[in-house]
C-alpha cells in the first residue's frame, strides 16, 4: 500500500467518523424535537380535552337556563298581574276616600248652610221686630241696644259682612241724637229693609 492510499484511507475514515458524529448529533436533535413535539401535542390535547369538557358544561348550563325560561316568564306574568291588581285596589281605595271626603264636605256644607239660613232668619225677625216697634219707641238707646246685639250676631255668624259698617254708622248717628224723632225712624225703617235684603 502506498503512502497516498494510506492517507486517503485515513482521510476517508475521518470523514466517516465526522459524518457519524454529525448523524448522531442530528439524530439527538431530531429525537429531542420529536419528544418536545409529542409533549406539546400531549399538552395541547389535554387543553383541548379540558376546553371540550368546559364547552359541554357550558352547553348543559345553557340548556338548564333555557329550561327555566318558561318558569321565569310565568313569574313575570304573575308579577304583572299582581301589580295590576294592586293598582286597581289603590284606585278603588282612593276613590272611596274621595267619595267619603266629598260626602262629609257636602254634609258639612249643607248643615252649615242650613244653620246660616236659620240664623239669618232669626236676625231678620229681630230687624222686623225693631222696625215694627219703631212707632211706639221714643228712646234712641233702646234702638241702639237692639242694633248692637244684631251687629254682634251677624259678625259671629259671618266673620264680617258688608252691612256691619252701615249698622255701625247708624249706631253712631243714634248716639248723637237723644230723641228718636220721625226723621230717624224713617231712616231706620229704610235701612232695616235694605239690610234684610242683603242678608239673603
Cell reading at 36: 418536545
* Ordered structural domains, the chain, with CATH: 112-198 (1.20.120)
Going by pLDDT thresholds of 50, 70 and 90, the confidence category of residue 116 is low
Q: Is the pLDDT of residue 26 over 50?
A: yes
pLDDT, mean over the chain:
77
Mean pLDDT of 67-73: 67
Residue located via cell numbers 248717628: 173
Q: For the chain, what is the largest distance between any 2 Cα atoms, rounded to a whole number of angstroms? A: 191
CA torsion through residues 109, 110, 111, 114, sign: positive
Higher-pLDDT residue of 190, 5: 190
Amino acid at each position: 500500500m502506498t503512502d497516498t492510499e494510506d492517507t486517503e484511507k485515513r482521510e476517508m475514515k475521518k470523514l466517516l467518523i465526522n459524518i457519524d458524529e454529525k448523524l448522531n448529533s442530528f439524530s439527538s436533535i431530531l429525537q429531542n424535537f420529536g419528544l418536545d413535539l409529542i409533549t406539546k401535542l400531549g399538552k395541547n390535547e389535554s387543553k383541548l380535552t379540558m376546553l371540550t369538557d368546559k364547552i359541554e358544561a357550558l352547553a348543559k348550563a345553557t340548556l338548564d337556563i333555557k329550561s327555566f325560561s318558561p318558569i321565569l316568564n310565568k313569574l313575570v306574568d304573575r308579577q304583572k298581574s299582581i301589580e295590576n291588581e294592586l293598582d286597581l285596589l289603590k284606585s278603588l281605595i282612593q276613590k272611596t276616600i274621595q267619595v267619603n271626603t266629598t260626602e262629609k264636605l257636602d254634609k258639612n256644607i249643607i248643615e252649615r248652610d242650613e244653620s246660616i239660613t236659620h240664623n239669618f232668619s232669626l236676625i231678620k225677625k229681630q230687624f222686623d221686630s225693631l222696625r215694627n216697634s219703631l212707632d211706639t219707641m221714643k228712646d234712641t238707646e233702646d234702638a241702639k241696644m237692639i242694633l248692637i246685639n244684631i251687629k254682634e250676631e251677624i259678625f259671629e255668624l259671618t266673620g264680617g259682612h258688608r252691612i256691619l259698617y252701615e249698622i255701625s254708622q247708624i249706631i253712631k248717628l243714634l248716639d248723637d241724637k237723644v230723641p228718636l224723632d220721625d226723621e230717624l225712624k224713617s231712616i231706620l225703617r229704610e235701612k232695616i229693609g235694605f239690610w234684610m235684603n242683603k242678608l239673603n
